Chain A
Amino acid sequence: MAAPIRIEGLTKIFGPRQQEALRMLDGGATKEEVLKKPRATVGIYDVSFDVEEGEVFVVMGLSGSGKSTLVRCLNRLIQPTRGSILIRDENVVEMDEEALRELRLHRVSMVFQQFGLFPHLSVRENVSYGLKVRGVSRQERMEKADAMLESVGLGEWATSRVGELSGGMQQRVGLARALATDPDILLMDEPFSALDPLIRREMQDELTELHDELSKTIVFITHDLDEALQIGDRIAVMKDGIVHQIGTPEEILRTPSTDYVAEFVDGVNPWGVINAEHVMDEPDAILYLSEGPRTALRKMSVAQLSSILVVDRGRKLRGILTADAAAEALENGDTDIGPYVEDLEGVGADVTLEELVPMGALSQHPLPVVSEDNRLMGVVVRASILDGLTSQHGQSRRTEEPAANGIGAEAK
């Protein structure tokens, strides 16, 4: 199937004499110059990017960066001045009224910063609005709306007025309303910006869960870098209507392409972004379950360890064997180390530093990092965490990453 969204050279200029402003911009004029002379405001200028199937594409920028204009061009709430928007190879910019309506009815829906709920309708009627416009029978749309409300945890509120709900609940209604039409693409214009930080966090998590479940393609607008880093598969950083950089959260953080992006990410808290996979090292030594206590002691002494991680043939983590336990097995004449291995839980590769620390990552013992099927991928030791926190190291870690990944690949 064609890419969900493909944007090329998208430009929006507000105000009079747009063509003149366009010519000036093409000739290298700045936003300020264009504002002064033909008094035209540049919303966005020459924006191009593709959004991949099922990804969460975040457009991040401060107010006035053009991010809201951009997202409104995607369903043509704003008519672009130039450029093309292909949604599954159909150019939205050139659609007639009928095609546009059909696009909004079936394929693209939107969640708004100020919720944009209908205060005169019940929660259920709000959620079913898109279906009503589509002409679905009352019975069917009410059923669908109730199911949708159930899935966002608001089943009991179906008959309430939206005004009776808290901000977080209202945005859940907004989300349910957008999902009720079962669109292909979800546009979210700063959906959580109006919410309290705690509720925002909760909603972000829920969105991630929902996204895993429904795998919609999402274009998410935000001014909050932390939010962008947390939920974005890829991020486009915008300023003054221009896209400065597009990349994964790690790329944005580690190799900012312009000064603006660098300045922007400078203050970011890496603890919440860098995860176990980024900072893990190859374990100095591992012990297979089939090996005996003598081998165990030798491996430990070579690597100068007081304990060693134990895996089975499939490299699945079985636990940890201390030097004391190995010595005890040797004394007892046991060749099977199984009974002497202590249980040890590994952490997931996507666990962030912030979460790692309370798990004991700063203690003396290395913390095993495991894949979803419990294969040992690497270990996090205190030194690598401290390293990961210095930005200089961010660069050097990147070069080491393939080695760390190598362990995982080998395990498979």
Chain B
Amino acid sequence: MREFPEWFRIPLGSWVDSVADWLTTEGAAVFQAISDVLFVLLLRIERALLWLPWPVLILLVAILAWRIVGIRLAGGVVVGLLFIGALGLWPEAMATLALVVSATLLATALGLPVGILMSGSDTARTMIRPLLDLMQTMPSFVYLIPALMLFGLGRVPALMATLVYAIPPVIRLTNLGIRQVSTSVVEAARSFGSTTMQILFWVQIPLAMPTIMAGINQTIMMALAMVVIASMIGAGGLGDEVLRAIGRLEVGRGFTGGISIVIMAIIIDRITAGLGERSQHDST
């Protein structure tokens, strides 16, 4: 008994294949529509980022960093972004940023309600949790295949793959944050005749904000990590640089692309983490 017998097989792979096939043929119109909408969103954001003269953008980000975190980060932002520009990767960086921003917006827009739903119902939590585990542990490359099949090559499938990979933290931490709100506070709100919605928006979400912000921060970081992988199906941007460098074994090119991603990651992380801390000060 060194091998499983031939008859003892579950054809899970071909089942998934047939579902995907069915989806591609029957759902073509739906996916085309989704694709069109997302493409427009992505394009608008990227155009806006590239339309802004780079000094203006750098200044804006620096001001943001200064207001939210402090003058030192603002200095770091200026140096870091100038460095990316000097490497000649400004358009690529903006393409990547557009993808990350779009993925984060979508992830938050979808993840918040799902997280809220999970926090309000144990049944929903029991059902959604394994799905999130699956999404987070599945090797990220695997997402590329259905995204490719359903949306073809390009930015939109890259966005979809990034979204799927990056959405779990915001869902998880929204759920956690709301559940962590002290029951005595919620009870008090209820005792004054608040409706479920009033409790949610006036009490639970404000108090869960630090945790939710931490979730969004993690989602952004995961989106940034995914863009490199998603470049294999046409995400473009900095990931493309790295991918090409791998193909041609160009160490220098790989390094400049990689370091640019690191710089962006640090800047985005510090700013969003600062936002999270601020909401924490507001609620304690």
Contacts and interface: CB of A to CB of B under 8 A. Distances in A.
Interface string B151-184: 0000000000000000000000000000000101
Contacts of B190: 77, 104
A70 interface: no
Interface stretch (A105-113, A294-302, A358-366): A105-113
B273 interface: no
B283 interface: yes
Contacts of A112: 184, 187-188, 191
Contact of B191 (A104, A114, A120): A104
Contact of A101 (B189, B195, B207, B284): B195
B208 to A, nearest CB: 10
A33 B189 CA distance: 36
Given A119-B283, A120-B206, A133-B198, A105 B193 contact: yes
Chain A contact residues: helix, strand, loop or mixed: mixed
B188 A116 contact: yes
B192 A104 contact: yes
A210 B25 CA distance: 74
A120 B193 contact: no
Contacts of A117: 185, 188
A65 interface: no
Given A110-B188, A116-B184, A163-B284, A130 B193 contact: yes
B163 to A, nearest CB: 30
A105 B195 CA distance: 11
A104 B187 CA distance: 12
A171 interface: no
Interface size class of B (residues with CB under 8 A): 20 to 34
A108 to B, nearest CB: 8
A119 B187 contact: no
Contacts of B189: 118, 129
Given A130-B193, A133-B193, A120 B188 contact: no
B277 to A, nearest CB: 15
Interface string A77-117: 10000000000000000000000111111000110111111
A134 interface: yes
B282 interface: yes
A134 B193 contact: yes
Contact of B187 (A77, A129, A181): A77
B18 interface: no
Contacts of B195: 101
A75 B188 CA distance: 11
B69 interface: no
Contacts of B191: 75, 77, 104, 109-110, 112, 116, 187
Interface string A114-158: 111111100000000110111000000000000000000000000
A107 to B, nearest CB: 10
Q: Which of A113, A116, A132 has the most CB of B within 10 A?
A: A116
Nearest to A116: B188
A120 B283 CA distance: 4
Contacts of B32: none
A187 B188 CA distance: 12
Contact of B192 (A119, A129, A161): A129
A114 B183 CA distance: 10
A116 B283 CA distance: 14
Contact of A102 (B184, B188, B193, B194): B193
Contact of A133 (B187, B194, B282): B194
Contacts of B206: 120
A105 B187 CA distance: 14
B223 to A, nearest CB: 29
Contacts of A118: 185, 188-189, 203, 207
Contacts of B283: 119-120
B44 to A, nearest CB: 34
Nearest to A161: B284
Nearest to A134: B193
A104 B193 contact: yes
A63 B277 CA distance: 38
A228 to B, nearest CB: 22
Contact of B282 (A77, A120, A134, A177): A120
A55 to B, nearest CB: 21
Given A101-B195, A110-B191, A133-B193, A116 B284 contact: no
Q: Which of A112, A120, A134, A161 has the most CB of B within 10 A?
A: A120
Interface string B267-284: 000000000000000111
A161 B280 CA distance: 13
B200 to A, nearest CB: 13
Interface in B26-83: none
A16 to B, nearest CB: 16
A117 B189 CA distance: 9
B185 to A, nearest CB: 5
A119 B207 contact: yes
Contacts of B203: 118
22 contacts: A75-B191, A77-B187, A77-B190, A101-B193, A101-B195, A104-B190, A104-B191, A104-B193, A105-B192, A112-B188, A114-B182, A116-B191, A118-B185, A118-B189, A118-B203, A120-B206, A120-B282, A130-B193, A132-B202, A161-B284, A163-B284, A181-B192
Interface of A: 75, 77, 100-105, 109-110, 112-120, 129-130, 132-134, 161, 163, 177, 181, 187
Given A109-B191, A129-B189, 11 more contacts: A104-B193, A105-B192, A112-B184, A113-B184, A118-B189, A120-B206, A120-B282, A133-B192, A133-B198, A134-B193, A177-B192
Q: List the 7 closest pairs (A to B, CB-CB), nearest first.
A: A116-B188, A104-B193, A105-B193, A120-B283, A130-B192, A110-B191, A114-B184
